[in-house]
């Protein structure tokens, strides 16, 4: 895998467990640092964890999307090795760290240096990137932009090590979250090499046109070099376009010449025209060779899109192969979001009526930021379908807040890790009645090693798929505010397209059934939103809701950025059905522009929210 990247791009360190013959005490310390509990365990950038490795991962190519997604991350840390020696009487290394921006407040940054040896024989195999020793940590004493820290560290070289197979990797790591901010090594700098970064999100929800934040291109080689930069649409509608702005001019392709150490900056623009979703691919090509082509995808999603598919499976194309085709028959507008490319927050999720979240076999399945975004989305009336093996195992393994979130928002209890059962039956009386699923073979992903056993939690949840032994593999939940469908296995493994389409149609139908799961005949005991009519609207719409009793409530309108637009009601309203009109104006009486808005009903015990569309 390392051969696909130049020495400026990618560093690998292998910490071998003490059960093997290539371990060292420092390797055991580092394994404990990452809380490794399954082998092999891969840590990308110190935080993106993948456990286990099948035959498809033998050469590492399956992990390329993960690595590539990290290469464009901006960092305030620049570092280089000024000098080193492995062979003198006093071997040493001198590392310079320069800050090009402020370090995050509250961080705990350490400079670490790993001594690594290649071509080590053990048994009948030859091993590379094996840790031999960790130099004692050095805390960073700098934190603000333009500050420089230089450290000369002594190295302990053992006589048995082969010096020509030895190298050092220096890296800066934040012990608060284990993120690695930058690394460098003692390998020779290539003649031709490039690095790059992308500021800001590369997937955006909004209007029909967007200018993305800056992309930076660096010549990190030793020689002057030419780079061809090209942007090409991959899914932009016929009346749309994509280009980038460089040197105040629009380009779809241009050549940029840079001396060693020089940088170039440009911005991608996507115009969707009348389309729903537009994507363009930016390609960085080194004309002189060296680093291979690097590509960055940029996407603009209309805020009128109904369903968002979150691609959080790490390194696979399951959303394209299985989810999007299964959604074709629902009649809904759909967009995809690459979690590797751009992080998600609740504001983004709330732009969509339904979110489908596909988890892969990478841990954490959902980190704290993911869980917070999903929680806020569901708290404001969202609808979620989440699927993936070992979500429950991971949340229970983390315990604490992760386990509580799993219980509260997925409405599930985790029972066991592996049912060893790849057949499930739909439950009578639910939308899955009469459907039998096979998770093995066919044209599915055939990737289920640990389909989990779960139980529905609370009166709001019920089982919709059971394994042949009567254990539960899928549940649905409706608490009167949000709806959730949760599969403790990967949807992509369903072994034929007809079953995937039938299951997805039922899921979307259930999740699209409105904010409340009850009919109006049963509303007297509930606080519930009943929708707005018309929707879309111009210039006026009527928002309807039910109250269980005479209650003080607040009804507000927000824009997509979460800014308050209008307070429609703030006081005691009567029990039963209520209607409130909004004329598309803000609190100052000015007309608001076309677009999506949220109306939020806040009562003493809960808050409900829904989306509406104003079309001028």
- At 92-123, the pLDDT tens digits run 999 999 999 999 999 999 999 999 999 998 88
CATH of the domain at 181: 2.60.40.10
Is omega for the bond preceding 595 within 30 degrees of 0, making it cis?
no
**Residue that finishes a domain, picked among 247, 279, 301:** 301
Q: Give the β-pairing of 166-174 and 109-117.
A: antiparallel
**Residue 479's pLDDT is what?**
87
How confident is the model at residue 583, as a pLDDT? 95
Residues in a beta bridge with 411: none
Report the pLDDT value the prediction gives residue 55, as an integer from 0 to 100: 46
Residue 498 contacts by C-beta under 8 Å, 6 or more apart in sequence? none
Res 42: pLDDT = 80
Q: What is the dihedral of CA 386, 392, 394, 396, to 10 degrees?
A: 140
Would you give the distance in Å from CA 558 to the centre of its chain? 26
Q: Name the more confident of 72 and 279.
A: 279
Average pLDDT score, the chain = 89
Cα–Cα distance measured from residue 467 to residue 583, given in angstroms and rounded to the nearest whole number = 52
Q: Which of 258, 280, 301 is the last residue of a domain?
A: 301
Instruction: Please count the other Cβ atoms lying within 10 Å of the Cβ belonging to residue 189.
Output: 16
Question: Taking the model in full, what pTM does it have?
Answer: 0.72
Spatial contact of 430 and 478, defined as CB atoms under 8 Å apart? no
DSSP sequence for 208-264: SEEEEEEEEEEE-SSS-EEEEEEEEESS--TT-EEEEEETTEEESEEEEEE-TT-EE
Nearest to 493 by CA among 454, 453, 450, 443: 443
Q: For position 410, what pLDDT does the model report?
A: 97
The two three-digit tokens of residue 38, written as one number: 């399954």
- Phi and psi torsions of 328, nearest 5°: -60, -35
> What pLDDT is attached to residue 21?
83
**Cα–Cα distance between 319 and 330 in angstroms, integer?**
16
Q: Which CA distances in Å does 10 have to 6, 54, 99, 435, 441?
A: 7, 22, 20, 47, 36
pLDDT at res. 581: 95
Task: Name the band, by pLDDT with cuts 50, 70 and 90, for residue 62.
Answer: low
Rounded to 10 degrees, the C-alpha dihedral 56/57/59/63 comes to: 120
* Domain tally, the chain: 4
155 and 24 share one domain: yes
Q: How confident is the model at residue 361 (pLDDT cuts 50, 70, 90)?
A: confident
User: Are 45 and 124 members of one domain?
Assistant: yes
Q: What is the pLDDT of residue 47?
A: 67
Q: Distance between CA atoms of 44 and 39, rounded to whole angstroms?
A: 15
| Contacting residues for 55 by C-beta, under 8 A, at least 6 apart | none
What is the residue range of 276's domain?
194-301
Most confident of 243-257, 316-330, 372-386: 243-257
Last residue of a domain, one of 136, 164, 185: 185
Task: State how far the Cα of 578 lies from the Cα of 532, in Å rounded to an integer.
Answer: 11
Question: Which DSSP string corresponds to 407-476?
Answer: HHHS-EEEEES-----EEEEPTTSTTTT-EEE-SSTTS----S-PPEEEE-STTEEEEEEETTS-EEEEE
User: Cβ distance 550 to 559 under 8 Å?
Assistant: no
In this predicted structure, the answer to whether residue 524 has a pLDDT above a threshold of 60 is: no
Do 41 and 109 have their domain in common?
yes
Q: How far apart are CA 234 and CA 281, in angstroms?
A: 7
Which of the two residues, 44 and 296, has the higher pLDDT score?
296
Residue 46: is its pLDDT beyond 90? no
Query: What CATH number does residue 580 fall under?
Result: 2.60.40.4070
Q: Helix, strand or coil for residue 529? A: strand
Per-residue buried b or exposed e for 315-341, using 16+ beta carbons within 10 Å of the residue's own CB: bbebbeebbbebbeebeebbbbbbbbb
Tell me what pLDDT residue 69 has.
74
Q: Highest mean pLDDT range out of 124-133, 204-213, 254-263, 364-373? A: 254-263
**pLDDT of the residue at 518:** 34
- 104: tokens are 């995050």
**pLDDT tens figures, 448-502:** 989 999 999 998 999 999 998 779 999 999 988 899 999 999 999 999 999 999 9
Same domain, 354 and 297: no
- Give yes or no: residues 314 and 295 share one domain: no
- Please indicate, yes or no, whether residues 397 and 505 belong to a single structural domain of this protein: yes
- 602 close to 554: Cβ distance less than 8 angstroms: yes
Residue pair 502/495 in contact (Cβ under 8 Å)? The answer is no
Q: Do residue 44 and residue 79 come from a single domain?
A: yes
- Rounded to whole angstroms, the Cα distance separating 25 from 21 reads 12
Residue 238 pLDDT: 82
Q: What is the pLDDT of residues 339-351, one digit of tens each?
A: 877 888 998 999 8
pLDDT at 517 over 50: no
Query: Per-residue confidence at 60, pLDDT binned at 50, 70, 90?
Result: low
**Judgement on whether residues 494 and 558 belong to the same structural domain of the protein:** no
**Which pLDDT score is estimated for 122?**
87
Burial 406-429, CB ≥16 within 10 A → b, else e: bbebbbbbbeebebebbbbbbbee
Q: Give the residue with greater pLDDT, 591 vs 517.
A: 591
**Closest alpha carbon to 25 in 158, 186, 150, 179:** 158
Mean pLDDT calculated for residue range 126-138: 95
Tell me, what's the pLDDT at 469?
76
Per-residue pLDDT tens digits for 153-172: 999 999 999 999 999 999 99
Q: Please write the tens of the pLDDT for every residue from 266-310.
A: 999 999 988 888 999 999 999 999 888 999 999 999 888 999 999
What span, in angstroms and rounded, lies between the C-alpha atoms of 332 and 507?
Answer: 12
| Whole-Å CA distances, 283 to 19, 210, 229 | 44, 19, 6
Contact partners, residue 40, CB within 8 Å, separation at least 6: 51, 52, 53
Task: Give CA separation, 505 vs 304, 328, 431, 499, in Å.
Answer: 20, 9, 9, 10
- Which residue shows structure tokens 């009562």? 603
Work out the end-to-end distance of the chain between its first and last CA atoms, rounded to an integer number of angstroms.
53
- Residue 596 and residue 20: Cα distance in Å, rounded? 58
CATH of the domain at 440: 3.40.50.880
User: Do both 208 and 178 map to the same domain?
Assistant: no
Give tens-digit pLDDT for 213-258.
Answer: 999 999 999 999 999 999 999 989 888 999 999 999 999 999 999 9
Do strands 383-387 and 483-487 pair parallel, antiparallel, or not at all (unpaired)?
parallel
The verdict on 374 and 447 lying in the same domain is yes
Helices then strands, each counted (H, E), the chain = 9, 39
Residues 481 and 334 both lie in one domain:
yes
Q: Answer yes or no: is pLDDT of 196 > 50.
A: yes
Q: How far apart are CA 399 and CA 198, in angstroms?
A: 35
Same domain, 179 and 214: no
pLDDT bucket at 547, cuts 50 / 70 / 90: confident
- Predicted confidence band at 1 (pLDDT cuts at 50, 70, 90)? low
| Residue 140 reports pLDDT greater than 70 | yes
* Least confident span in 181-185, 383-387, 428-432, 601-605: 601-605
């Amino acid at each position: 895998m390392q051969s696909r990247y130049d020495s400026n791009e990618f560093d690998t360190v292998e910490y071998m467990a003490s059960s093997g013959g290539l371990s060292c005490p420092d390797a055991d310390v580092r394994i404990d640092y990452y809380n490794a509990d399954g082998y092999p365990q891969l840590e990308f950038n110190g935080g993106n964890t993948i456990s286990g490795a099948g035959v498809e991962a033998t050469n590492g190519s399956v992990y390329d999307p993960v690595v590539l997604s990290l290469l464009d991350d901006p960092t305030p840390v620049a570092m280089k090795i000024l000098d080193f020696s492995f062979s003198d009487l006093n071997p040493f290394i001198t590392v310079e760290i320069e800050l090009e921006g402020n370090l995050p407040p509250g961080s705990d940054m350490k400079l670490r240096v790993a001594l690594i040896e290649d071509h080590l024989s053990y048994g009948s195999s030859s091993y590379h990137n094996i840790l031999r020793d960790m130099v004692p940590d050095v805390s960073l004493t700098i934190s603000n932009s333009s500050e420089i820290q230089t450290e000369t560290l002594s190295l302990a070289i053992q006589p048995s090590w082969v010096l020509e197979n030895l190298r050092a990797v220096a890296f800066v790591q934040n012990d608060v979250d284990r993120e690695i901010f930058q690394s460098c090594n003692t390998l020779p700098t290539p003649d031709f090499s490039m690095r790059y970064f992308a500021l800001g999100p590369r997937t955006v929800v909004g209007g029909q046109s967007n200018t993305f934040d800056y992309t930076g291109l660096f010549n990190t080689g030793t020689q002057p070099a030419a780079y061809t930069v090209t942007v090409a649409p991959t899914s932009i509608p016929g009346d749309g376009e994509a280009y980038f702005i460089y040197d105040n001019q629009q380009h779809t392709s241009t050549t940029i010449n840079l001396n060693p150490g020089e940088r170039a900056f440009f911005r991608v623009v996507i115009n969707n025209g009348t389309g729903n979703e537009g994507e363009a691919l930016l390609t960085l090509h080194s004309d002189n060779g060296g680093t291979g082509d690097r590509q960055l995808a940029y996407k603009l999603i209309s805020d009128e899109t109904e369903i968002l598919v979150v691609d959080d499976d790490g390194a696979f194309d399951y959303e394209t192969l299985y989810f999007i085709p299964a959604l074709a028959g629902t009649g809904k507008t759909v967009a995809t979001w690459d979690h590797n490319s751009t992080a998600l927050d609740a504001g983004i999720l709330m732009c969509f009526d339904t979110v489908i979240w596909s988890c892969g076999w990478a841990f954490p399945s959902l980190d704290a930021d993911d869980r917070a975004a999903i929680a806020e989305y569901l708290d404001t009336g969202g609808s979620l379908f989440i699927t993936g093996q070992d979500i429950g195992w991971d949340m229970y393994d983390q315990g604490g807040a992760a386990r509580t979130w799993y219980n509260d928002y997925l409405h599930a209890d985790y029972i066991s890790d592996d049912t060893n059962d790849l057949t499930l039956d739909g439950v009578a009386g639910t939308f899955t009645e009469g459907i039998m699923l096979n998770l093995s073979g066919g044209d599915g992903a055939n990737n289920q090693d640990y389909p989990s056993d779960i139980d529905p939690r609370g009166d709001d949840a019920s089982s919709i798929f059971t394994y042949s032994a009567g254990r539960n593999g899928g549940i649905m939940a409706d608490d009167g505010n949000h709806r959730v469908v949760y599969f403790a296995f990967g949807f992509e493994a369903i072994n034929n397209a007809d079953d995937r389409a039938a299951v997805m149609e039922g899921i979307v139908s259930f999740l699209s059934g409105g904010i409340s799961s009850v009919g109006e005949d049963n509303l007297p005991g509930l606080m519930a939103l009943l929708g707005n009519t018309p929707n879309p609207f111009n210039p006026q719409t009527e928002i309807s809701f039910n109250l269980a009793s005479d209650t003080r409530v607040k009804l507000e309108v927000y824009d997509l950025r979460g800014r308050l637009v209008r307070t429609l009601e703030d006081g005691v309203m009567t029990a039963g059905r209520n209607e409130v009109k909004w004329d598309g104006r803000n609190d100052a009486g000015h007309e608001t522009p076309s677009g999506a808005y949220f109306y939020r009903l806040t009562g003493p015990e809960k808050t409900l929210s829904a989306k509406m569309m104003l079309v001028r």
